Amino acid sequence: MQLTLFDLDRKTIEDISHPSTYKGIYSFHKYWGKKPTESIIYFIQKYTSESDIVLDPFLGSGFIGRECLSRNRRFIGIDLNPLAIEHSNFLLTLPKASIFKAALKQIEQKVKRKINESYLVGNSKIASHYLWQGDNLLKVWLKPEIGRNRIELEPTSFDLEKIKQFSSYLVRNIRKPTFFTNSRINSNNQMSLYDLFTPRALSNIDLLLDEINLFPENIQRALLLTLTSASGQMSSMVFAITNRGKTKNQISNKVEVGSWVIGYWRPELHFEINVWNCFESRAKKLYKSLFELDEREYQKYDSIDILLGKKNGSSIINGDCLDVMTKIPDKSIKLICTDPPHSDRIPYLELSEMWNSILNKSVIFEKEVIVSNAKERNKKIHEYIEKMKSFINESSRIIADDGILLIYFNARNKQSWKFLEIVKISNKLQFIGAFPMEYSANSVVQDNRKNGMKTDYVLVLKKAGYIINVKHELEQIPGWLVSIPEMALVS
Ligand SMILES: C[S@@+](CC[C@H](N)C(=O)[O-])C[C@H]1O[C@@H](n2cnc3c(N)ncnc32)[C@H](O)[C@@H]1O
């Protein structure tokens, strides 16, 4: 029997370093670099009490806010990425499943027929997929009325005429995205929405947005996130998979539908998928998750000042954490639990630009704490280290004397760890130890380059000069390290 240190779903200390993948509402929307929940819940439960304030200055998808509030901790979350803020707010104000379902029905009545008309094939049937090779339409697929085998048709002049009807369509509801020249994610500064979507897809997304924008805030947010979540599959970035598997010793020439992958890769052989079908299938997934949940709504305040005067609730702020943290009083935070961008691992704002343009939210790229290959951005390692040092300095000021700072981190080169030098130099914080966290990628998008890492470390720090007896318990976490993991790296 393993030692059970926290009771949530009968998790054990083993699960902290080998967590499971996301389920339900946490797997609904992709977010680059999502972290598993186990270790975070462990620290919230073990080292904070009710009404204590937990802070995550690099919030991301924001599940930590929900985990804190459901345990009556106060919570402050900050992120520069509007998508992250929308998602975090969504998790705190989930609509009731029945209300979401009614909203979906309403949208269906308003736009499904119109969207489907744009995919009409000659025999008054509706196409589900179009297979393209560059600008040439190769096949049109229909869903069968009975059975599972799709119907594949050769394109007709009717199909081509339908497509032509949209050729000069100008998108109305999506703001112009800003792309940078970054070969790592296959983007360039000339790229536009029309490189990522067919004009027909954009016209149909516009129809959905016309309806979504009429709903009250929390339903609208859930519907918008359904749309951003489905947008990759609505784009022309969906790979066609060929030559996979053999049937009766013959290589199959069957084409299968792949998915949109990290970045802006535009495969020559690709699909255009019926926008309504993409939207509906994401919405159904969300409905299922909402149905399985309790519908508790959590208190949110617009400002940190208001939260400080309350005994519970949260404040979710869209901004640069290095600015926002300066407004947090000294020694007011019991636990800082955060996962900052890991040097050059994932360029969050560049990757989220497609989503943020659909959300119509503006983005302040200059403030991002990141190392990016994007030529126009000038985001180099030196600036990254300086910003990370500022984050550590501010953390040491606002953390309570008996507080803990957890930093989720890993980086391929020794230089990226250099910001931790400030811990020794300033002598305000003390490194207690670290543990590895291995998890599978499932709904998480990790670094998929050669030598890309599948492990993160959780660095545990406390205020220097104060005694908190955590070491004995933490030493039981498998893989517990007493030195900073970068020591293992070669410079
Ligand atoms: C590793 S992700 C966090 C992922 C999160 N732990 C999760 O599980 O979803 C890092 C986050 O830092 C955010 N970020 C980058 N620069 C920032 C800044 N200056 N202020 C606040 N957030 C920033 C990015 O937008 C990104 O969401």
CATH number at residue 460: 3.40.50.150
What is the 388 CA–ligand 1 centroid distance (Å)?
A: 12
What is the 137 CA–ligand 1 centroid distance (Å)?
A: 40
> Which atom of ligand 1 approaches the CA of 340 most closely?
10
Q: Would you say the CB of residue 409 lies under 6 angstroms from ligand 1?
A: no
Q: Would you say the CB of residue 84 lies under 6 angstroms from ligand 1?
A: yes
Residues 23 and 165 in one domain: no
| Residue with CA at minimum distance from ligand 1 atom 8 | 34
In a domain, 361, yes or no: no
What is the 93 CA–ligand 1 centroid distance (Å)?
A: 21
What is the 124 CA–ligand 1 centroid distance (Å)?
A: 48
In a domain, 309, yes or no: yes
What is the 370 CA–ligand 1 centroid distance (Å)?
A: 10
Q: Would you say the CB of residue 368 lies under 6 angstroms from ligand 1?
A: yes
Predicted TM-score of the model (pTM):
0.94
Residues 18 and 75 in one domain: yes
In a domain, 355, yes or no: no
> Which atom of ligand 1 approaches the CA of 387 most closely?
19
In a domain, 358, yes or no: no
In a domain, 284, yes or no: yes
Residues 439 and 310 in one domain: yes
Residues 312 and 330 in one domain: yes
- Sheet-wide strand order for 238-241: 151-153, 136-142, 127-133, 269-273, 238-241, 256-257
- Residue 1 has a pLDDT of 37
Domain boundary among 292, 322, 342: 292
Q: Would you say the CB of residue 80 lies under 6 angstroms from ligand 1?
A: yes
Q: Would you say the CB of residue 16 lies under 6 angstroms from ligand 1?
A: no
Instruction: Choose among 437, 327, 434: nearest CA to 36.
Output: 437
- Residue 261 has a pLDDT of 82
Domain boundary among 266, 292, 318: 292
In a domain, 41, yes or no: yes
What is the 210 CA–ligand 1 centroid distance (Å)?
A: 30
Residues 288 and 389 in one domain: no
Domain count, the chain: 2
Residues 167 and 235 in one domain: yes
| Residue with CA at minimum distance from ligand 1 atom 22 | 79
> Which atom of ligand 1 approaches the CA of 342 most closely?
1
- Residue 469 has a pLDDT of 73
Tens of pLDDT, residue by residue, the chain (491 residues): 344 455 556 677 778 878 877 788 988 999 988 888 888 999 999 899 999 999 999 999 999 999 999 999 999 999 999 999 999 999 999 999 999 999 999 999 999 999 999 999 988 899 999 999 999 999 999 988 888 889 999 999 999 999 999 999 999 999 999 999 999 999 999 999 999 999 999 999 999 999 999 999 999 999 999 999 999 999 999 999 987 655 555 656 788 998 888 799 999 999 999 999 999 999 999 999 999 887 778 999 999 999 999 999 999 999 999 999 999 999 999 999 999 999 998 999 999 999 999 999 999 999 999 999 998 999 999 999 999 999 999 999 999 999 999 999 988 888 999 999 999 898 999 999 999 988 765 434 455 555 555 678 999 999 998 877 777 788 888 899 988 887 555 44
Residues 248 and 321 in one domain: no
In a domain, 360, yes or no: no
Ligand 1 pocket, mutate which of 29, 58, 339 (most atoms under 8 A from CB): 58
**Domain residues for 431?**
8-87+298-350+366-488
What is the 37 CA–ligand 1 centroid distance (Å)?
A: 16
Residues 265 and 148 in one domain: yes
Ligand 1 pocket, mutate which of 64, 78, 79, 416 (most atoms under 8 A from CB): 79
> Which atom of ligand 1 approaches the CA of 35 most closely?
8
Q: Would you say the CB of residue 239 lies under 6 angstroms from ligand 1?
A: no
Residues 306 and 450 in one domain: yes
Residues 285 and 302 in one domain: no
| Residue with CA at minimum distance from ligand 1 atom 3 | 60
| Residue with CA at minimum distance from ligand 1 atom 4 | 60
| Residue with CA at minimum distance from ligand 1 atom 26 | 60
Q: Would you say the CB of residue 315 lies under 6 angstroms from ligand 1?
A: no
Instruction: Choose among 61, 65, 8: nearest CA to 38.
Output: 8
Residues 288 and 314 in one domain: no
Q: Would you say the CB of residue 31 lies under 6 angstroms from ligand 1?
A: yes
Q: Would you say the CB of residue 347 lies under 6 angstroms from ligand 1?
A: no
- Residue 491 has a pLDDT of 44
In a domain, 357, yes or no: no
Domain boundary among 292, 307, 332: 292
Residues 323 and 436 in one domain: yes
